[in-house]
């Protein structure tokens, strides 16, 4: 794989997460009704960062946080050559009448978010579902899904690949755009 072009550095990612937290608080005045749910696997890494900063900003005022696996809600899980690896869902609350923010690292075709919206219905009927992503790839949607909160927008062709690297799993925080396939 080629080196790729760094779109966001570690410092910019930190600032972006801080901005996203402020935007969430601007739109959700009552954290009692707020649920932050990270989509397994890589959305959870962003959701964890959001959870930590929001907890500090809210001075310990509680809000709901969970992790959602969407493996068996995907429309392609039976069509792959290799089986998908399921992760755990860790949601110990109902989303009934709550404002849910689904979190993923990259919004690309919209298929992951579509599956997450189906999966979240198993936990009740939310008042509202919003989408937060670190990278919004605008021109490649298969479903009419948009990000309510995005760290950055990338206009890239189908052949390009955007990777969000996290220090927890990749050794460093950065967003990289590659000109070819993975």
Residues with Cβ within 8 Å of residue 1, at least 6 apart in sequence: 178, 180, 182
Q: What is the pLDDT of residue 160?
A: 85
Residues sharing a CB contact under 8 Å with residue 52, sequence separation 6 or more, in sequence order? none
pLDDT at position 76 is 66
Structure confidence at residue 77 (pLDDT) = 58
pLDDT at 181: 56
Domain limits for position 64 = 5-77+86-178
Q: Among candidates 74, 16, 67, which has minimal Cα distance to 45?
A: 67
Decide: pTM greater than 0.85: yes
Comparing CA positions, the residue from 98, 81, 46 lying closest to residue 67 is 46
| Confidence at residue 124, expressed as pLDDT on a 0 to 100 scale | 96
As for how many domains the chain has, the answer is 1
Tell me: cis bond preceding 135? Omega within 30 of 0 counts.
Answer: no
In the sheet that holds 64-68, the strands lie side by side as 64-68, 34-39, 99-107, 128-137, 149-154
Q: Which residues in the chain come in under a pLDDT of 70? A: 1-2, 76-81, 83, 181-182
State the CATH number of the domain containing residue 123: 3.40.50.2020
């Amino acid at each position: 794989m080629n080196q790729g072009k760094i779109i966001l550095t570690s410092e910019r990612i930190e600032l972006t997460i801080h901005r996203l937290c402020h935007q969430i608080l601007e739109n959700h005045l009552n954290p009692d009704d707020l649920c932050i749910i990270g989509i397994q696997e890589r959305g959870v890494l962003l959701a964890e960062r959001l959870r930590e900063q929001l907890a500090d900003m809210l001075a310990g005022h509680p809000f709901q946080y969970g992790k959602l696996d969407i493996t068996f809600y995907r429309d392609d899980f039976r069509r792959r050559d290799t089986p998908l690896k399921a992760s755990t869902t860790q949601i110990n609350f109902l989303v009934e009448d709550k404002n849910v923010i689904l979190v993923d690292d990259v919004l690309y075709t919209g298929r992951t978010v579509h599956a997450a919206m189906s999966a979240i219905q198993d936990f009740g009927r939310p008042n509202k579902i919003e989408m937060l992503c670190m990278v919004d790839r605008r021109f490649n949607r298969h479903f009419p899904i948009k990000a309510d909160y995005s760290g950055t927008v990338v206009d890239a062709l189908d052949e390009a690949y955007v990777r969000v690297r996290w220090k927890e799993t990749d050794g460093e925080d950065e967003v990289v755009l590659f000109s070819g396939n993975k």
